[in-house]
Amino acid sequence: MIEARGLVQTFRTGRGKEKKDVHAVRGVHLDVGKGEVLGFLGPNGAGKTTTLRMLTTLLRPTAGTARVAGYDVATQPVDVRRSIGYCSQVGSTFSGAYAGDEVVDHGMLYGMSRRAAVAKGHELFEMLQLDGLWKRMPKNMSGGQKRRLDVAMALVHSPGLVFLDEPTTGLDPQARANLWSHIEALRSEQGVTVFLTTHYLDEADALADRIVIIDRGEIVASDTADELKASVAGDLVALEVASDDQVSPARERLARLSDDVEVAGRRVSGRVARAGKAVPGLLRELEGACVSLESIEVVRPTLDDVFLTLTGRSLRDADAPSLEGEKQ
């Protein structure tokens, strides 16, 4: 559904001597298959929206090519737009008409008949739990309802591929969870391919089949959340032994599985690849060495651990301000 090769976007900012190039996206390769939910994750300013704007034909790439839904973004933009749905980060600007009429107008803009757009609109209102709000003006809706209306607008013409740019930013936890279940249903019930940008780790973790992490305009990782976590960080295994003389044998057994064992009092911990598989054997060995445990904790790494390992920075704190290139 999406095939991007070497996408580049360089913005020229400032005037006269203050002219600067901002290298927002620096050679992005991406492949997204049919029916896949791709989580496009990165800190603020990493280049997520810029990449998405190139893929949706809103911005012409400085270099590189992309095919979206089978069409070239540079030479066949109208075909691309007809084939996709797009929910922008800022949301739609509504005209002051009723919510239902907004959706119908949007569908007709894509060439649907009024009757087909009304029918599809009602179907989407039901699916997105907007029933009863057809004749409500969007300005009188809650943030969560408005965001779901944005999604309805993106879906009215039944695209097979939908781009959602930070769809849950600004929503309360309940509204976020609610929108997640709708996004999940798009894929599982309707086979829609979803390209989702987010800077929420839990969102990418919960929704995406595959996660692509972008940092400073470059892709630094692409895999399932499980594989990313397994390959980079390893699970943290923490043992609490029953007495001081058991620390040493526990440390020795854990060191067979982990390169970075740490000891703090009676707590012995270390990162272990695929701990779910390794821990039963470890427990048997500890028992054989007469080590008795007060507790054992296995903590799975987060996507933030992955980002930290890849870039040396935390995704939570990272922003990507230093994209500016040479002064012109």
Ligand X SMILES: Nc1ncnc2c1ncn2[C@@H]1O[C@H](COP(=O)(O)OP(=O)(O)OP(=O)(O)O)[C@@H](O)[C@H]1O
Binding site for ligand X (CB under 6 A): 11, 13, 22, 24, 42, 44-50, 199, 323
Smallest distance from ligand X to CB 19, Å: 12
Residue 279's closest CA among 235, 217, 232?
A: 235
Which one, 52 or 230, has the nearer CB to ligand X?
A: 52
CA 40 to chain centre: 4
Outline where DSSP puts E strands in 34-154: 37-41, 63-68, 71-72, 84-87
Smallest distance from ligand X to CB 169, Å: 8
Helices 247-255 and 275-288: angle between axes, nearest 10 degrees: 140
Smallest distance from ligand X to CB 44, Å: 4
What burial class does residue 78 get, using C-beta atoms within 10 Å of its C-beta: 0-12 exposed, 13-18 middle, 19+ buried?
Answer: exposed
Q: Three-class SS of residue 8?
A: strand
Q: What are the strands of the beta sheet with 218-223, ordered from one edge? A: 84-87, 161-165, 193-198, 37-41, 210-215, 218-223
Smallest distance from ligand X to CB 218, Å: 12
Smallest distance from ligand X to CB 28, Å: 11
Smallest distance from ligand X to CB 29, Å: 17
Contacts of 156 (CB under 8 A, 6+ apart): 103, 104, 106, 107, 110, 112, 117, 120, 121, 124
Which one, 60 or 256, has the nearer CB to ligand X?
A: 60
Which one, 9 or 258, has the nearer CB to ligand X?
A: 9
Residue 212's closest CA among 26, 25, 32?
A: 32
Smallest distance from ligand X to CB 199, Å: 5
Residue type, 32: V
Q: Give the DSSP letter of residue 291.
A: -
Rounded Cα distance between 27 and 35, Å, is 25
Which one, 172 or 324, has the nearer CB to ligand X?
A: 324
Smallest distance from ligand X to CB 319, Å: 8
Distances (CA, A) of 174 to 24, 99, 131, 133, 145: 33, 22, 18, 19, 12
